[in-house]
Chains A and B, each alone.
Chain A
Amino acid sequence: MTEAYDPLRDDRGNRDISITKIGNPPVLTPAENRETRPAPGAVRAFLTAEAMVGGYGRGANILNGCTVAAEKGQIAVIVGPNGAGKSTAMKAVFGMLELRQGTVTLDGEDITRLKPQERVARGMAFVPQTRNIFASLSVEENLEMGAFLRRDDISRTMEQVYTLFPILKEKRRQPAGELSGGQRQQVAVGRALMTEPKVLMLDEPTAGVSPIVMDELFDRIIEVARQGITILMVEQNARQALEIADMGYVLVQGANAYSGTGRELLADPMVRKSFLGG
């Protein structure tokens, strides 16, 4: 890099057509590349969402045959330009919108028709992008509510969450709404971990937090994955997210444009040029 640092053009955030990208930005088109590895549809991964087609209510399709998958203990990241259907894909995997086509399987079991709550009981946990904590409840109560479905002793899991996020133990009696943005995200992730999930789904966990906190959060997410929990995550900070990703999916217009390991995508000239900003 020879040019001077320009905060508007650093490598955080989206690199799609926007006011910060002057000139002629390359146009993304779905599924043109033959070079990178195709979405692992044939091989059944631990969590597989295959050829999903769907939209909100009776509206138009937002997902047009998109596939995401993640193996046990792997981190899968969905990236893509604004409006590509990243969050929608996430919600579809969790059953928050009805699929018109496609299937979702968890550990070989078809869960396409299950309600979100039933998926929670099967070991999936979801951290929404906004309003992801109980603001008026204390940190500890937030964690307790995360474990609402569990009838066994939750103190061990709570200890694990406190070990992962030590600051939460310090603030466990404080209302979660009084914490800083990064700490709230820790509460949100902690709440989701309380069910002892097999799959943890994160919708833009680093939205609105400072770069330092973002790195910190990514470190924690890697730690969670090392415990054997599958992570599926949507991220705006594409470059950083792909750096820690085992599998990356670039969505464009609700379909897979590129997929491969995080490293492959970062090295792919097409992805770099059109999406990561060179």
Chain B
Amino acid sequence: MEPLNALVVFLNFVFIPAAAYGAQLALGALGVTLIYGILRFSNFAHGDTMAFGTAITILVTFALQGAGVTFGPLPTALLALPVGIAATALLVLGTDRSVYRFYRERKAAPVILVIVSMGVMFVMNGIVRFIIGVEDVVFTDGARFVIDARGFREATGLAEGLALRSTQVITLVTAAVAVALLFWFLNRTRTGKSMRAFSDNEDLALLSGISPERVVAITWIIVAALATTAGVLYGLDKSFKAFTYFQLLLPIFAAAIVGGLGNPVGAIAGGFIIAFSEVMVTYAWRKVVAYLLPEGLEPTSLLQLMSTEYKFAVSFAILVIVLLFRPTGLFKGQSV
């Protein structure tokens, strides 16, 4: 029995990757939940908004690298991130102006707006592929590891190594900063409070003189920032591929709905729930269990509940279960 080694394996292959992935999903789900709370529809174009922001950030990163600018041990993409956010904000504000506002003024039913957002999704899909292509793009630079496996083994004398990649640390820190900023904005500033008021009771917000168009515009800008940040962090952690970002839509929606649509705290919790479920259900537990059981009792099978190809089934199953038994989500959002 070597529980320490078991813990290291667990941290290395389950906890750290799931935490980083959870932070990325949480940022994505926050965007979805804000749109749902303020504009009252499910934005299917969110995955492609993330892809667009990441694509622009990658191009700026390459330009910076070409000009010889780097960010020391940190990835250059973080320097390019503000440009990506600004470009995405312009794109979503333009989309709102040209597409969503038309339906808003006609007080279209939410289901119509959902379909409209699917149309927007296809258009953005095309734009992103035009800009950056369909291939895998790796744009990480700077230091690769904060702790590497060999160094850890040598320092601790354990059989198992623990690797902590710098992108994972950056993901968690950036996500924490973004969430703290968002909550400070929503709870402490006048504009943020007016957004919550608008989400809570639109008619009364109008009676109080809160301008809906201004609230909507600010929401889009925040969503652009969250989506681009989430996309860039995911791309740094793994790699960028337009199709992968489109696929991220499912876990992101699952996260937002599990937490309760329209509820920011729920979106964060949902992101981590989905990420941990996905990683834990598709992880082969043999090594961890082998370290925990007495010698001679090592399992012969992989102890993997589902192969990694089925990871989307996990979020889908959770989504269905939540919709069946608790349609408003864990943190009491609006019902779908």
- Please name all residues of chain B whose beta carbon is closer than 8 Å to the beta carbon of A156 when the two chains form the complex: none
Contact B206 A137 (CB under 8 A): no
A137 touching B193 by the CB < 8 A rule? yes
Whether B196 lies near A137 (C-beta < 8 A) is yes
Specify which of B194, B196, B204, B205 lies most central, judged by the most chain A CB atoms within 10 Å of its CB.
Answer: B204
A30 CA to B239 CA, complexed, in Å: 76
Contact residues in B for A120 (Cβ distance below 8 Å):
207-209
Interface residues in A136-173 (C-beta closer than 8 Å to B): 136-137, 141, 144-146, 148-149
Query: Given the complex of chains A and B, what is the CA–CA distance between A148 and B195 in angstroms?
Result: 12
* Contact size range, B: 10 to 19
A145 near B194: Cβ-Cβ < 8 Å? yes
Quick check: is B307 within 8 A (CB to CB) of the other chain?
Answer: no
Q: Mark B302-332, 1 if CB is under 8 A from A, else 0.
A: 0000000000000000000000000000000
Q: With A131-B203, A134-B200, A136-B200 in contact, do A146 and B208 touch (Cβ < 8 Å)?
A: yes
Asked if A149 contacts B200 (CB within 8 A), the reply is: no
Assess whether A234 is interfacial by the CB under 8 Å rule: no
A126 in contact with B197 (CB, 8 Å): no
A-B contacts at CB below 8 angstroms, number: 57
Question: What residues of A have a CB within 8 angstroms of the CB of B107 in the complex?
Answer: none
* B193: chain A residues within 8 A (beta carbon): 137, 141, 144-145
Q: B205 and A145: CB pair below 8 A?
A: yes
Known pairs A148-B197, A149-B208 / 8 extra A-B pairs, C-beta < 8 Å: A116-B207, A117-B206, A117-B207, A128-B204, A145-B194, A145-B210, A146-B208, A148-B209
With an 8 A cutoff between CB atoms, is B156 at the interface? no
Q: Are B201 and A121 in contact (CB under 8 A)?
A: no
Cα A131 to Cα B210 with chains together (Å): 16
Q: Which residues of B contact A116 (CB under 8 A)?
A: 206-207
Assembly CA distance A135 to B204 (angstroms): 11
Residues of chain A with a CB closer than 8 A to B194's CB = 145, 148
Which B residues are CB-close (under 8 A) to A191? Answer: 204, 208
CB distance from B197 to the nearest CB of A (A): 5
Residues from chain A with Cβ under 8 Å of B196 in the complex: 134, 136-137, 141
Is the pair B200, A128 in contact by a Cβ cutoff of 8 Å?
A: no
Nearest B residue to A136, CB-CB? B200
The interface residues of chain B lying within 8 Å CB-to-CB of A117 are: 206-207, 209, 211
Whether a CB of chain B sits under 8 angstroms from the CB of A274 is no
Does the CB pair A149–B209 fall under 8 Å? Answer: yes
Complex Cα–Cα for A12 and B197 (A): 34
A/B interface sample: 7 pairs, CB < 8 A:
A128-B203, A131-B201, A134-B196, A137-B193, A144-B193, A148-B194, A191-B204
* A residues in contact with B106, CB < 8 Å: none
Closest approach, in angstroms, between the C-beta of B303 and any C-beta of chain A? 44
| Candidates B197, B207, B210; contact of A137 at CB < 8 Å | B197
Residues of A within 8 A of B197 (CB): 134, 137, 141, 145, 148
Known: A136-B196, A148-B194. A131 touches B207 (CB 8 A): no
**Assuming A117-B206, A120-B208, is B190 touching A137 (CB within 8 A)?**
no
B208–A148 contact, CB under 8 A?
yes
**Which chain A positions have C-beta within 8 A of B200?**
134-137
Is A133's CB within 8 Å of the partner chain B?
A: yes
Report Cα–Cα, A137/B195, bound state, in Å: 11
| B198, chain A: closest CB distance, angstroms | 9
Nearest-CB distance from A248 to chain B (Å)? 26
Chain B nearest Cβ from A155, distance in angstroms: 14
B213 → A minimal CB distance (Å): 12
A131, B204: Cβ atoms closer than 8 Å: yes
**Least CB distance, B216 to chain A, in whole angstroms:** 16
A134 in contact with B207 (CB, 8 Å): no
A105 sits at the interface (CB 8 A):
no
A247 to B150, CA, bound (A): 87
The complex places the Cα of A58 from the Cα of B34 at a distance, in Å, of 35
A103 within 8 A of B: no
**A132 touching B209 by the CB < 8 A rule?**
no
Minimum CB–CB distance from B329 to chain A (whole Å) comes to 14
Closest to A132 in B: B204
Q: Are B207 and A128 in contact (CB under 8 A)?
A: yes
Closest to B210 in A: A148
User: Bound complex: CA of A116 vs CA of B207, how far in Å?
Assistant: 7
**Given the interface contacts A134-B197, A145-B197, does A126 sit within 8 Å of B190 by beta carbon?**
no
B190-235, CB < 8 A from A: 190, 193-194, 196-197, 200-201, 203-211
Contact at B204–A133, with CB atoms within 8 Å? yes
Name the residue in A117, A133, A145 with the highest tally of chain B Cβ atoms < 10 Å from its Cβ: A145
Cα A136 to Cα B209 in complex, Å, equals: 19
List chain B residues, Cβ under 8 A from A145. Answer: 193-194, 197, 205, 208, 210
Across the interface, which residues of A come within 8 angstroms of B207, CB to CB? 116-117, 120, 126, 128
Known: A137-B197, A148-B194. A121 touches B204 (CB 8 A): no
**Is B209 in contact with A134, judged by CB distance below 8 angstroms?**
no
